[in-house]
């Protein structure tokens, strides 16, 4: 698991399931344990960024759920493509590939329930 994959994994567990005792320092310590070349400070900054994107992705998915469900039925190009592109561009500190990963999880976990 790469650095950003681990960040997403830990952030998801932290936010969705309140793992790590809902203690950010414990979550960051887990990340830094896997990536000793990163300082704890770097891990904390990146963790905060990923958590923020994750929360923003939940709000984005919920606000565009009707468009998403229509796309699921037709699988045709939709306004969702442009909306997602704009959303990804607005999230500055996390790679686009990571944002795609987060959006996939959020759509499945928050809209399919």
How many Å apart are CA 85 and CA 2, to the nearest integer? Answer: 24
Residue 109: pLDDT above 90?
Answer: no
Tokens of 82: 């442009």
User: Mapping DSSP to helix (H, G, I), strand (E, B) and coil, where does residue 93 land?
Assistant: coil
Note the pTM of the prediction, 2 decimals.
0.92
Report the number of secondary-structure helices (H) and strands (E) in the chain: 6, 0
- Is the Cβ–Cβ distance between 103 and 63 less than 8 Å? no
* Domain range summary for the chain, segments of one domain joined by +: 3-111
Supply the pLDDT for residue 110: 85
pLDDT in tens, 91-104: 999 999 999 999 99
Residue 112: pLDDT above 80?
Answer: no
**What does residue 73 show for φ and ψ, rounded to 5 degrees?**
-75, -40
* Least confidently predicted of 28-42, 44-58, 60-74: 60-74
């Amino acid at each position: 698991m790469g650095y950003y994959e681990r960040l997403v994994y830990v952030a998801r567990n932290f936010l969705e399931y309140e793992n790590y005792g809902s203690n950010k320092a414990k979550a960051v310590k887990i990340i830094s344990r896997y990536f000793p070349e990163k300082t704890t400070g770097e891990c904390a900054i990146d963790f905060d960024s990923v958590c923020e994107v994750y929360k923003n992705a939940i709000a984005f998915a919920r606000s565009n759920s009707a468009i998403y469900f229509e796309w699921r039925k037709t699988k045709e190009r939709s306004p969702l493509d442009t909306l997602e592109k704009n959303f990804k561009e607005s999230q500055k500190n996390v790679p686009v590939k990571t944002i795609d990963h987060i959006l996939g999880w959020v759509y499945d976990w928050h809209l399919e329930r």
